[in-house]
Amino acid sequence: MNSEKNEMELSFDAVSENESFARVAVAAFVTHINPTLEEIDDVKTAVSEAVTNAIIHGYENYRGYVKGGEGERPVPVHQGKVYVRCRLEGDVLHIEVQDQGKGIADIARAMEPMYTSRPELDRSGMGFSFMEAFMDDLEVESRPAAGTIVRMTKKLGSTSWIACGE
């Protein structure tokens, strides 16, 4: 067993252009343990879901990018930071995504498939379902007006030769 430990931490402004930055950074952080392409995709999607939720729901910066010259600028901007912390323990990846935004009053309801508080924003209510399906473990801690922490875990490289034997 590989019991090597490695940690990283990011904090960035709660704006939509940072969604891709966050998922690519986490993917880059785990490449040296040789996860499968599917695992990387799963992790990227889960990170994207959690970070997008922090930006849209936590800080209510729901506008995405606007093409220049069309006379429209994003409505936001509620100031706020999103924090992403990753810890690799051997081949197990722990991810924490935190915001200090609005918080969630009813966590159980928020996590129900297809539940969204913002259907008018073209949200589908599948974010938590995807996090749950694509990661091994998902936990949500939240308090109204204090913010939200989403914790996820996934074992990586599970089908690679490194994982079997020894």
Partner 1 sequence: MEEFQIIENYLMVRLPEEVDHHRADYICRKADRYLLDQKVEHIVFDFEDTRFMDSSGIGIILGRYRKISCFGGKVYAIHVDKKVERMFRMAGLNKIVEVLA
Ligand X SMILES: Nc1ncnc2c1ncn2[C@@H]1O[C@H](COP(=O)(O)OP(=O)(O)OP(=O)(O)O)[C@@H](O)[C@H]1O
Q: Does 68 bind partner 1 (CB under 8 A)?
A: no
Q: Does 62 bind partner 1 (CB under 8 A)?
A: yes
Q: Does 40 bind ligand X (CB under 6 A)?
A: no
Residue 60 token pair? 């209510």
Residue 102 token pair? 């609005």
Per this entry, what is the length of the chain? Answer: 166
Helices (H) and strands (E) in the chain, counts: 4, 5
Q: Which is nearer to ligand X, 33 or 97 (CB)?
A: 97
Q: Does 54 bind ligand X (CB under 6 A)?
A: yes
Could you confirm whether 143 is annotated as catalytic? no
The CA distances from residue 48 to 3, 71, 73, 144, in Å, are 27, 28, 23, 22
CB 13 within 8 A of CB 100: no
Could you confirm whether 109 is annotated as catalytic? no
DSSP code, position 58:
I
Task: Tell me the residue number closest to Mg ion, measured at CB.
Answer: 127
Q: Does 94 bind partner 1 (CB under 8 A)?
A: no
Q: Does 78 bind partner 1 (CB under 8 A)?
A: no
Catalytic position from the list 123, 132, 141, 151: 123
Q: Within positions 58 to 117, which residues make up the interface with ligand X, using CB under 6 A?
A: 58, 99, 101-104, 110, 115-117
Could you confirm whether 49 is annotated as catalytic? yes
Catalytic position from the list 18, 19, 39, 53: 53
Q: Does 143 bind ligand X (CB under 6 A)?
A: no
Longest dimension (CA), the chain: 62
Which residue, 71, 69, 73, 95, is CA-closest to 82?
A: 95
Which residue numbers are catalytic? 49, 53, 123
